[in-house]
Amino acid sequence: MTGAIFAGEQSQWKDPRWKNGNWDLDMFKNAAGEVDWDAVIDAEVVHRKMLEDNPAVYDEDGLFDTSIVPWQVWMRRFHLPEAEKANGRAAMVGYAFAYLIDAAGGAGLVDLHNSFLGKTAIFATILFVTLVRSLKDIDNLKDLAAEATFYDKQWNASWEGVDRPSESQK
């Protein structure tokens, strides 16, 4: 329906499910007779995108009230629990760093942003939260460190019990 508008083939937006300036929810019912809220959200996303890109193709007044869609549908559709966990972890690690620096140096929370130690702690917090998203990531980083030093260990093991030329010259 909206593909023709995006291709420039139509000069006006039309959707049979849009009536009197709002979505007709009866047109979004599934086989069980319940409203398919995901289809309503998809239609509204396309509708808003079209309005942003082509405001001239829309003559009719109308604004979809997003509160019609139940909140749990919005949460299921757009909630990002990983981002929630990362933000919470960053806040807690940042608070711990701020407390430690404040206790060690006596600087207030505002002064931490002006000090080298405070800026270093902020950088360390961001780095930690970015690299360690879960406890499993710590094990992955340990494995990566072990792999990075593997060839050194292998090289040293090949010289066990043998005098190295570099050491015998001293």
Summarize pLDDT for 27-40 with one digit per residue, the tens. 999 999 999 999 98
For 134-150, write each residue's pLDDT tens digit. Answer: 778 888 888 888 888 88
Q: Which residue has the higher pLDDT, 9 or 158?
A: 158
For 30-68, write each residue's pLDDT tens digit. Answer: 999 999 999 988 888 888 888 777 776 666 666 667 778
Who contacts 107 (Cβ-Cβ below 8 Å, separation ≥6)? 101, 115, 118
Tokens 């083939």 — which residue? Answer: 9
Q: Which of 51, 17, 20, 55 is nearest to 36 (CA)?
A: 17
Please tell me the number of Cα atoms within 13 Å of 92 on its side-chain side: 7
- What pLDDT, on a 0 to 100 scale, did the predictor assign at position 28? 92
Who contacts 26 (Cβ-Cβ below 8 Å, separation ≥6)? none
Q: Quick check: 5 pLDDT over 60? A: no
SS3 category, 29: strand
- What pLDDT, on a 0 to 100 scale, did the predictor assign at position 4? 56
Mean of the per-residue pLDDT values for the chain?
78
Environment class of 57 (CB within 10 Å of its CB; exposed 0-12, middle 13-18, buried 19+): middle
Q: Quick check: 152 pLDDT over 60? A: yes
DSSP assignment of 108-153: -HHHHTTSHHHHHHHHHHHHHHHH-SSHHHHHHHHHHHHHHTHHHH
- What pLDDT, on a 0 to 100 scale, did the predictor assign at position 137? 80
* Model pTM score: 0.45
Q: Which residue has the higher pLDDT, 66 or 24?
A: 24
Rounded mean pLDDT, 85-96: 81
